[in-house]
Amino acid sequence: MNTEDQKDSEANRWNHRPTGPVALNPLFEWPPKFLAVLRWYSAYWLAASTTTLALVLAIAAYFTILPSLEAMEKPQLGWITRVWIANLVPHTICAGVLHLWLYKFKGQDKDFKYDPRQPATNSGIFSFRNQVHDNMFWTLISGVSQWSMMQCLVFWAMANGYAPAFLFPDNIIWFFLMFPFLILWASFHFYWVHRALHWPPLYRIAHAVHHRNINIGPWSGISMHPLEHLIFYSNFLIHFIVPTHPLHVMFHGYMQSIHPIFSHSGFEKLYVANKERANMGDFFHQLHHRYFECNYGTVEMPWDRWFGSFHDGSAQGTQETRERKKKMYL
């Protein structure tokens, strides 16, 4: 047991947690740390990560199943269904395979698993009295559908000139810069709408469905109330303001929806054949599901640090979060 664990009365509630404080994107630190920034973005773009997975999926979808913009000028069931399938299939495969490996077959047992518990069964908290079935229902029925419909709205608007669009290679520099920009935009949007979702009336109506999952798993990522899905996917409206390419829209969707599968996996790392294959879980967000009123954003931008809601994983962070929560609900 390390020194931090000895100070933390809740240390035994974790099966595993990273050593040291939760790391945030060094891009926003002062003075600048150029090597740290280079290492941070190399881990996202030059290694196996949810970012590279989203990019690969977007390229594959664009060149295989996504219709041309000309074909999307009129709302038609055919091309709308193709967009829905382009989202449904990879999401089901990623969440399904990861769940089977980690929880059904226990492929790496509890190695690097944050919470020692298994997904809940025979629990009245969840629809169908089963956490996984509940999460699959909200994900597949509402989540994938609303994600797809927002993309279809953007594609239709692009095709009819209501949303600015450009085709590769009209502006090569902007084309490539748009990928990291969308990640930063999503982080900005998520922090503020997430804080709004913790407003008690909105929390009770919508966000409580997602927060049933204190012990999260791959299917928990976009398991949300339909109203929350509408708010969550409203960040696609950026495409009505900033010129983008259809490939960016697909990448945006996969980052917004496939990434939470892995960040909610409940495991820090993925091990296959006794070898680490990828970083996976997100202790930053795991802390949010444990303590609720902290870490509303993502590690990409330090909104939580700037606005006093950051929990760095330490015993002091837990104490500060609980004190802040008491003040919120007085």
Q: Where are the domains of the chain?
A: 48-290
The token duo for 57 is 């999926």
Q: Tell me, yes or no, if the pTM score tops 0.85.
A: yes
Please say if the pLDDT value at position 171 is more than 60. yes
Average pLDDT over residues 231-240: 98
Q: What is the mean pLDDT of the chain?
A: 94
Average pLDDT over residues 190-206: 97
| φ, ψ dihedrals at 25, nearest 5° | -55, 120
Query: Which whole-number Å values give the CA distances from 125 to 121, 214, 238, in the listed order?
Result: 10, 11, 36
Element containing residue 277 per DSSP (H, E): strand 275-279
Compare 204 and 168 and report the one with higher pLDDT.
Answer: 204
Pairs from 42-48 (Cβ < 8 Å, separation ≥ 24): 43/279, 47/278, 48/277, 48/278
pLDDT at 329: 74
pLDDT at 1: 47
Please say if the pLDDT value at position 93 is more than 50. yes
pLDDT digits (tens, 9 = 90+) for 208-232: 999 999 999 999 999 999 999 999 9
Q: Is 213 helix (H, G, I), strand (E, B) or coil?
A: coil
The token duo for 121 is 């069964």
Please say if the pLDDT value at position 4 is more than 70. no
Return the sign of the alpha-carbon dihedral for residues 270, 271, 275, 281: positive
